[in-house]
């Protein structure tokens, strides 16, 4: 296990990840800020709270823990975490979505070290995670498989096929984390297709252990992950993390319009200020990188 | 009769789709529209706003989307338009389209947006270069690729009036206007947009305007007089028109923003093989995946810009003499 960090340190890392997320989306001119910001604290807890055992120097070591970003459009915050973890140079974050960049619009195992599965088409990750959990048994290993899902992905049939099948095959080490920000692309989940609720009951009925938390409260996230890691050796675990889409940038928070667009220069500066970046740093960044 | 010039204004295909859906919805109180959490992008939301009771945004569940559209259409007394991005509308639920929409020739009009590499920065996961191939393979399915918003409107009306299954392929990008507003569209009838005698270029979608530009460059730079054909419908394809042109020119090039496997190129080759076999050069996305980049950068990477097309056609003409 990696050394764990204090909650204060995790909060500071999460702030950095949010800054890099917005910077990279701003420079790319497109991308998905809302769902990247809602999953940030969970990603930081996983990678810096000591739950994901990975070696950036040897990213595909057979016994590593796996993280599947099933909601592949949250690539910007995932890339920022991988960069801070040391998988690649932070400078690369500013090539996001550009021709020839290893940082594709949606995560791609072909392109980026640390990525386990190429996603972007929603609803496929949990089956992949299940396959990896079944492989663990065949390979006599004990790695964990964390699958990060959006609530919108619970509308895809394939997600439920995986939920059903995990129990049947008695998968060990499988932990699904649902980023429940209640917003999808067109509108709020409760407006488009509320049938995903109640989430816990459905997982429970399929033989999963469930935990419900505030996905922005580090003490709750860490406690849930401790519990999940333990119980996942008996049965698959689903953590429903109640989150705020766009968390950390007020004008994006809980606003469907900020699902999939980049801020303009003015809005970018506003976001940076709110995230605690000084005027001087903003100016330096824009001078160096802006189009 | 054709409007196209090098600086033709651009038309928004998705907006035309949304507006035409509203027109059709006013005309036909039974018409329904189904979408999968992309209605703000596909523009079916415009219909949903005016006819909320006949609009079903089913969420991110494309197999369910096609199933619901089929259920609405099985009695064949309601026309259903179903939309999403090309990747998710044709890829994920392909078998369900085949079993219901295709097999029973249901009045389900599949209108996909964001096809091809011009989706751009989203990357390979969203760049659908195989949709024409997999839709063509389904019996009963008509496959139509508009070159601009004017002909799109006529295609949508034709699809509405014609019984059975349709696949209509749109893009994210705006396209230069090629056709006049009063263009007439007939299923399986193509257009000769420019006459020529040295080579036949058959193109669809955005590549129609690129082919016309390439033809001008071929004329100016190399003195080659190309004939340019837009078949509009890839299935059924106007094999007669293409074969007649091939008889005149003796060589055919196909251009599509789609894989060279199973798309326009193969449809043209199949038609020519039976009627008038000639050498054919397929231009499109090679047997590979796209990547993130702007639409223009990717078109350039895959050598689909007019100057590149002209240069490569000239090279091929010389090497295949
Ligand atoms: C199979 C599939 N259908 C549609 C899309 C288009 N799409 C991209 S993001 C999105 C909705 C995002 O909402 P949600 O899944 O809840 O993610 P989050 O709110 O966490 O960003 C949609 C419909 C897709 N990527 N994949």
Residue by residue, pLDDT tens for chain B (321 residues) are 577 888 889 999 999 999 999 999 999 999 999 999 999 999 999 999 999 999 999 999 999 999 999 999 999 999 999 999 999 999 999 999 999 999 999 999 999 999 999 999 999 999 999 999 999 999 999 999 999 999 999 999 999 999 999 999 999 999 999 999 999 999 999 999 999 999 999 999 999 999 999 999 999 999 999 999 999 999 999 999 999 999 999 999 999 999 999 999 999 999 999 999 999 999 999 999 999 999 999 999 999 999 999 999 999 999 987
Ligand 1 atom closest to the Cα of residue A123 is 1
**Is A166 in contact with A208 (CB distance < 8 Å)?**
yes
Neighbour count for residue A140 (Cβ, 10 Å): 7
What 3-state class would DSSP assign to A108? coil
Phi, psi dihedral angles at A237 (to 5 degrees): -120, 135
In B2-108, alpha helices (H):
13-27, 39-42, 45-50, 62-73, 86, 94-96
**Is A99 in contact with B291 (CB distance < 8 Å)?**
yes
Q: In which region does residue B235 sit, left (phi positive, over 0), alpha (psi from -120 to 50) or beta (all else)?
A: beta
Pick the residue from chain A with its C-alpha nearest to B295: A99
A267 pLDDT tier (thresholds 50, 70, 90): very high
Residue A216 lies in a domain: yes
Question: Does ligand 1 have an atom closer than 6 angstroms to the CB of B38?
Answer: yes
The CATH code of the domain that includes A39 is: 3.40.50.970
Rounded to an integer, what distance in angstroms lies between the CA atom of residue B274 and that of residue B270? Answer: 7
Q: Which residues of B touch A178 (CB under 8 A)?
A: none
**Is A34 in contact with A152 (CB distance < 8 Å)?**
no
Give me ligand 1 centre to Cα B214, in Å: 38
**Nearest CB to A193; choose among B41, B59, B294:** B59
A1 pLDDT tier (thresholds 50, 70, 90): very low
pLDDT at A3 over 90: no
Strands B226-230 and B191-194: antiparallel
Residues β-bridged to residue A188: A183
Q: Do B124 and A104 touch (CB under 8 A)?
A: yes
Give me ligand 1 centre to Cα B45, in Å: 17
Q: Which residues of B touch A157 (CB under 8 A)?
A: 61, 63-64
Question: Does ligand 1 have an atom closer than 6 angstroms to the CB of B125?
Answer: no
Which pTM does this prediction carry?
0.97
Q: Which residues of B touch A118 (CB under 8 A)?
A: 124-125
Q: Do B61 and A157 touch (CB under 8 A)?
A: yes
Q: Do B121 and A105 touch (CB under 8 A)?
A: yes
Neighbour count for residue A77 (Cβ, 10 Å): 29
Q: Name, in order, each residue with C-beta under 8 angstroms of A96's C-beta and a sequence gap of 6 or more.
A: A24, A25, A27, A28, A31, A75, A76, A79, A103, A105
Number of structural domains found in chain A: 1
Phi, psi dihedral angles at A141 (to 5 degrees): -115, 175
| Interface with B, mutate which of A32, A34, A75, A105 (most B CBs under 10 A) | A105
Give me ligand 1 centre to Cα A152, in Å: 6
Residue A15 lies in a domain: yes
Is A180 an interface residue toward B (CB < 8 Å)?
A: no
Q: Do B61 and A72 touch (CB under 8 A)?
A: no
**Is A249 in contact with A255 (CB distance < 8 Å)?**
no
Residue located nearest, by CA, to atom 7 of ligand 1: A185
Would you state the pLDDT for residue A257? 97
**What is the DSSP-derived secondary structure letter of residue A188?**
B
Question: Does ligand 1 have an atom closer than 6 angstroms to the CB of A121?
Answer: yes
Rounded to an integer, what distance in angstroms lies between the CA atom of residue B167 and that of residue B162? Answer: 13
Q: Do B121 and A28 touch (CB under 8 A)?
A: yes
Is B140 an interface residue toward A (CB < 8 Å)?
A: no
Packed helices A40-48 and A7-28: angle between N→C axes, nearest 10 degrees: 130
Percent share of chain A, pLDDT over 70: 99
Name residues 148-167 of chain A within 8 A of B (Cβ).
152-153, 155-157
Q: Which two tokens stand for residue A74?
A: 């949250």
Ligand 1 atom closest to the Cα of residue A150 is 20
Domain limits at A275?
7-289
Is A100 an interface residue toward B (CB < 8 Å)?
A: yes
Rounded to an integer, what distance in angstroms lies between the CA atom of residue A217 and that of residue A151? Answer: 19
Q: Do B291 and A119 touch (CB under 8 A)?
A: no
Q: Which two tokens stand for residue A265?
A: 């220069």
Q: Which two tokens stand for residue A237?
A: 């675990």
**Which of A51, B192, B72 shows the shortest CA–CA distance to B82?**
B72
Give me ligand 1 centre to Cα B59, in Å: 9
Neighbour count for residue B99 (Cβ, 10 Å): 15
Would you state the pLDDT for residue A12? 98
pLDDT digits (tens, 9 = 90+) for A15-29: 999 999 999 999 999
Q: Name, in order, each residue with C-beta under 8 angstroms of A112's C-beta and a sequence gap of 6 or more.
A: A79, A82, A87, A88, A102, A103, A104
* Domains observed in chain B: 10-176 (3.40.50.970), 191-319 (3.40.50.920)
Residue A151 lies in a domain: yes
Q: Name, in order, each residue with C-beta under 8 angstroms of B88's C-beta and a sequence gap of 6 or more.
A: A121, B36, B38, B62
Is A101 an interface residue toward B (CB < 8 Å)?
A: yes
Is B302 an interface residue toward A (CB < 8 Å)?
A: no
């Amino acid at each position: 296990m990696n050394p764990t960090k204090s909650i204060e340190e995790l909060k500071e890392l999460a702030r950095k990840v949010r800054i890099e997320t917005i910077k990279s989306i701003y420079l790319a001119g497109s991308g998905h800020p809302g769902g990247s910001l809602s999953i940030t604290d969970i990603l930081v807890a996983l990678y810096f709270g000591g739950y994901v055992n990975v070696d950036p120097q040897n990213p595909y070591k057979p016994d590593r823990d796996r993280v599947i970003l099933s909601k592949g459009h949250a690539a910007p915050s995932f890339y920022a975490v991988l960069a801070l973890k040391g998988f690649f140079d932070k400078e690369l974050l500013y090539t996001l979505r550009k021709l020839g960049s290893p940082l594709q619009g949606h995560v791609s195992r072909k392109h980026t070290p640390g990525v386990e599965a190429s996603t972007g088409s929603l609803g496929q990750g949990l089956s992949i995670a299940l396959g990896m959990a079944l492989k663990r048994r065949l390979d006599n290993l004990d790695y964990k498989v964390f699958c990060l899902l959006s609530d919108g992905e619970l509308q895809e049939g394939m997600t439920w096929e995986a939920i059903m099948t995990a129990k049947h095959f008695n998968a060990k080490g499988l932990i699904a984390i649902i980023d429940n920000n209640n917003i999808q692309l067109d509108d709020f989940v409760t407006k488009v297709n509320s049938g995903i609720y109640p989430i816990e009951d459905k997982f429970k009925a399929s033989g999963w252990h469930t935990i419900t938390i505030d996905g922005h409260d580090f003490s709750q996230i860490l406690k849930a992950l401790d519990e999940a890691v333990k119980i996942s050796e008996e049965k698959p675990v689903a953590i429903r993390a109640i989150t705020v889409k766009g968390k950390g940038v007020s004008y994006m928070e809980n606003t469907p319009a900020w699902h999939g667009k980049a801020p303009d220069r003015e809005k970018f500066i506003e976001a940076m200020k709110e995230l605690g970046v000084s005027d001087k740093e903003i100016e330096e960044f824009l001078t160096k990188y802006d189009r | 009769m054709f409007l196209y010039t090098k600086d033709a204004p651009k038309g928004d295909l998705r907006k035309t789709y949304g507006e035409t859906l509203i027109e059709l919805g006013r005309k036909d109180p039974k018409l329904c529209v189904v979408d999968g959490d992309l209605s703000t992008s596909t523009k079916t939301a415009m219909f949903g706003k005016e006819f909320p009771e006949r609009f079903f945004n089913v969420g991110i569940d494309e197999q369910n989307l096609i199933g619901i559209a089929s259920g609405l259409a099985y009695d064949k007394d309601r026309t259903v338009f179903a939309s999403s991005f090309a990747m998710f509308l044709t890829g994920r639920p392909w078998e369900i389209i085949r079993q219901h929409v295709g097999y029973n020739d249901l009045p389900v009009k599949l209108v996909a947006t964001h096809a091809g590499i011009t989706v751009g920065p989203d990357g390979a996961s969203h760049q659908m270069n195989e949709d024409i191939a997999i839709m063509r393979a389904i019996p009963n399915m008509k496959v139509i690729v508009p070159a601009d918003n004017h002909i799109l409107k006529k295609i949508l009306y034709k699809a509405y009036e014609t019984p059975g299954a349709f696949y209509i392929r749109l893009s994210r990008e705006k396209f230069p206007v090629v056709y006049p507003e009063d263009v007439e569209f007939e299923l399986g009838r193509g257009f000769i947009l420019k006459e020529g005698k040295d080579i036949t270029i058959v193109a669809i979608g955005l590549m129609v305007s690129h082919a016309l530009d390439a033809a001008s460059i071929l004329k100016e730079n190399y003195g080659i007089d190309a004939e340019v054909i837009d078949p509009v419908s890839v299935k059924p394809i106007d094999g007669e028109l293409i074969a007649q042109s091939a008889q005149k020119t003796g060589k055919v090039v196909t251009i599509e923003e789609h894989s060279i496997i199973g798309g326009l190129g193969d449809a043209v080759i199949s038609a020519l093989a039976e009627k008038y076999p000639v050498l054919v050069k397929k231009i499109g996305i090679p047997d590979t995946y796209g990547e993130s980049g702007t639409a223009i950068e990717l078109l350039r990477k895959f050598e689909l810009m007019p100057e590149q097309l002209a240069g490569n056609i000239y090279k091929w003409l010389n090497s295949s003499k």
